[in-house]
Structure 1
Amino acid sequence: MNDTDPHGDDAPPSTWKHGDALGANGTPEGKGSSIVARAVTINRPVDEVYAYFRDFTNLPTFMENVERIDTLDATRSHWVVKAPAGKTVEWDAVITEEEPNRSLAWTSEPGADVANSGRVEFRDAGLRGTVVTATIAYDPPAGIVGKLIAKMFQREPAIQARRDLRRFKQLMETGEIATAAMTRKQREEEMA
């Protein structure tokens, strides 16, 4: 075990060898029966990575299925996210824990289309930059059937978490996201 993590493991909480992934260092309040965790190392200082992520209006720039996030106040936000079959799901989220440049945890408020909670940790990796670990717990709409449908349409959180973190890394390191497809912003600029 190391000094910064009582579990002695740098892996995402869902893969810890010791301890409960949904405990104090996992996802808050345990909202969500399915857990997804991914990590990426971004070659930027921890304060830059945290600051960009903490401004929730930035998240749609690299989170492919997030249409928009409206900041309601210092700790609450409203999320609109693409779902399979051209639908969207929405929820209000509240920050349950925040330690600047180290971690950010949230949970959805009652009435969410998709009950969820999560935690993103930012760890200084010295000359390598910042290790970002995202752990999300969620209840898929329509249970297991909804999860299978989401997977078929590539909208399942486990698939998206990996892709979104890869895009976040590209954006933070190069200032852009490499893509073969035209982005919404590019389409709008071309049509203007």
Structure 2
Amino acid sequence: MTSHGRSHGALAAGIALAAGAIALAAKQQNRRRRRDHPADDAPGFTARRDFGRYEVVGRSVTIARPRAELFAFWRDFTNLPRFMENLTDVSAAGAPGHWVWTIRAPAGQSVEVETRIAREVDGELIAWRSVEGSDIDTEGRVTFEDAPGERGTRVGLIIAYAPPMGEAGRAVAKLFRREPEVQARHDLKRFKMLMETGEIATSARRNDATRAAKMENA
């Protein structure tokens, strides 16, 4: 082998070793986080809280519907793909309170995330968290409270997540409009449309289709 070939071989080996070390460090950090973050704690107390390696986003919207009605609709997680653009399916898993979320990804791919209900307060709060071994490490909570002036219900959505592939994953998510901050805002707008009018506006559906096509062709 020439010195040029040996150099390339050494570089490739070095990259592989570095990638392995990063992956191992990420797994160890995830184990420490789960050890230090009790399973019964509800996630996302504030959109500005420091979650370490987690990115935290929060959005809220006022919907002119009763709080109990909105809570019941959201609590059936199979309803979520009706207004969450990046979800293709949510189905019940084997254990009670566990759900499998199928999420769109670039290049026509998809990832599955199994979550469990971490905390629930009837009519007020639903919190969930991904289980060990899911493709994406994430947690979230949705809150429901009476809006002032009898204007309906204030719905707040907070999502904490560890971006896949770190900074590179965030860049890919932004490119395909899958950054959770953007997605949370759009999903709540569609939720409001669906609950107030019974359907999602044609323009919103057209935008959904355009973004989905970009994902398929990426």
TM bucket by the smaller chain? Answer: 0.7 to 0.9
Q: Which one of 82, 85, 93 corresponds to residue 61 of structure 1? A: 82
Q: Which one of 2, 10, 13 corresponds to residue 46 of structure 2? A: 13
1:49 aligned residue:
70
2:42 aligned residue:
none
Distance 2:161 2:207 in 1: 30
Distance of aligned partners of 1:172 and 1:148 in 2 relative to their CA distance in 1, 3 Å threshold: same
Distance 1:163 1:182 in 2: 10
Q: How far 1:86 moved relative to its partner?
A: 1.8
2:164 aligned residue:
141
Name the SS for the 1:141 alignment partner: coil
2:120 aligned residue:
98
2:190 aligned residue:
167
Letter in 2 for 1:143: G
Contact 1:60 1:67 in 2 (8 A): yes
Name the SS for the 1:14 alignment partner: coil
Q: How far 1:13 moved relative to its partner?
A: 1.7
Distance 2:177 2:52 in 1: 23
Higher mean C-alpha displacement, 53-62 vs 126-135: 126-135
Q: Give the unaligned 5+ runs of structure 2.
A: 1-44, 210-218
Distance 1:62 1:111 in 2: 26
Distance of aligned partners of 1:183 and 1:116 in 2 relative to their CA distance in 1, 3 Å threshold: closer
Q: Give the unaligned 5+ runs of structure 1.
A: 1-11, 16-20, 23-29, 185-192
1:33 aligned residue:
54
> Which string of whole-angstrom CA distances, capped at 9 and with x for unpartnered residues, describes residues 149-173 of structure 1?
1101111111111000000000000
Distance 1:183 1:45 in 2: 27
RMSD: 2.0
Distance 1:165 1:137 in 2: 16
Q: Which one of 92, 95, 105 corresponds to residue 71 of structure 1? A: 92
Q: Which one of 116, 119, 130 corresponds to residue 153 of structure 2? A: 130
Letter in 2 for 1:63: M
Q: How far 1:77 moved relative to its partner?
A: 0.4
The structure that is helix-richer by fraction is 2
Q: How far 1:182 moved relative to its partner?
A: 9.0
How many residues align? The count is: 161
Determine which structure has more spread, i.e. the larger CA radius of gyration.
2
Q: How far 1:70 moved relative to its partner?
A: 0.5
Distance 1:67 1:32 in 2: 27
Q: How far 1:112 moved relative to its partner?
A: 1.0
Structure 1 consecutive aligned stretches of length 4 or more whose deviation exceeds 6 Å: none
2:141 aligned residue:
119
Contact 1:45 1:129 in 2 (8 A): yes
